[in-house]
Chain A
Amino acid sequence: GAVVSQHPSWVICKSGTSVKIECRSLDFQATTMFWYRQFPKQSLMLMATSNEGSKATYEQGVEKDKFLINHASLTLSTLTVTSAHPEDSSFYICSASVGGQFFGPGTRLTVL
């Protein structure tokens, strides 16, 4: 139980385009999901907390207009990287909270 999926697992896009990443809790409902960014050989940095039916709470220094988060249902949260640039290339990980956090496998974004 407590499986979280992410789609896509990897994506390559051109600079200036937008990319949407989905995070789904497959066998449970999650009021709260988190989005992290992981740089190579570095720790996970929390980007935002996503609550179903309300606006996401962004961490200091994270541009909310660039990283759009939508949590429209109890099993799905999406992260859209708008007008992506090469510096947005990273590994994005989501987690769903239900008595603890369960992590998705991550999405590798490469912006050319």
Chain B
Amino acid sequence: GDSVTQMEGPVTLSEEAFLTINCTYTATGYPSLFWYVQYPGEGLQLLLKATKADDKGSNKGFEATYRKETTSFHLEKGSVQVSDSAVYFCALSDGTSYGKLTFGQGTILTVHP
């Protein structure tokens, strides 16, 4: 079945550092790929998405490119802020089953001033 693997955390960075959170996937067909963010005490929010190969999703300074050849969707941000501290989830949807999502295990990001 479908699966998503994220780099293990937690990740701790200083403010303005560069962020990369790796995500690879296994899926049949052509899934859509997502990054969700969960801030402390809040529900998951969609951060960005890409629906086909070579698409780049971006939002709030975060970017991720759908790489079919490496089955990857790595999350990057050039300069993190303390407010980016959260749990980040990579996920895929196979486009069927009413948009059912398969999640990675989540990566805890802590940014220090």
List residues of chain A with CB under 8 Å of any chain B CB. 4, 32, 34, 41-44, 46, 49, 51, 93, 95, 97, 100-106
Query: Which of A4, A43, A46, A95 lies in contact with B104, CB distance below 8 A?
Result: A43
Query: Which of B42, B46, B97, B102 lies in contact with A49, CB distance below 8 A?
Result: B97
Residue pair B98, A51 in contact (C-beta under 8 Å): yes
Distance in Å: Cβ of B57 to nearest Cβ of chain A: 12
Query: Which residues of chain B from 86 to 113 have a CB within 8 Å of any chain A CB?
Result: 89, 97-106, 108
Query: Which of A43, A97, A100, A103 lies in contact with B43, CB distance below 8 A?
Result: A103
Contacts of A95 in B (CB 8 A): 44
List residues of chain B with CB under 8 Å of any chain A CB. 36, 41-46, 49, 89, 97-106, 108
What are 17 A-B pairs at a CB distance below 8 A? A34-B100, A34-B101, A41-B108, A43-B104, A46-B100, A49-B98, A51-B98, A93-B44, A100-B46, A100-B49, A101-B101, A103-B36, A103-B43, A103-B44, A105-B41, A105-B42, A106-B43
Which of chain B's residues has its CB closest to A59's CB? B100
A101-B45 in contact given A42-B106, A43-B105 (Cβ < 8 Å): no
Q: In the complex the two chains form, what is the Cα distance from A43 to B102 in whole Å?
A: 9
A104-B103 in contact given A43-B89, A49-B97 (Cβ < 8 Å): no
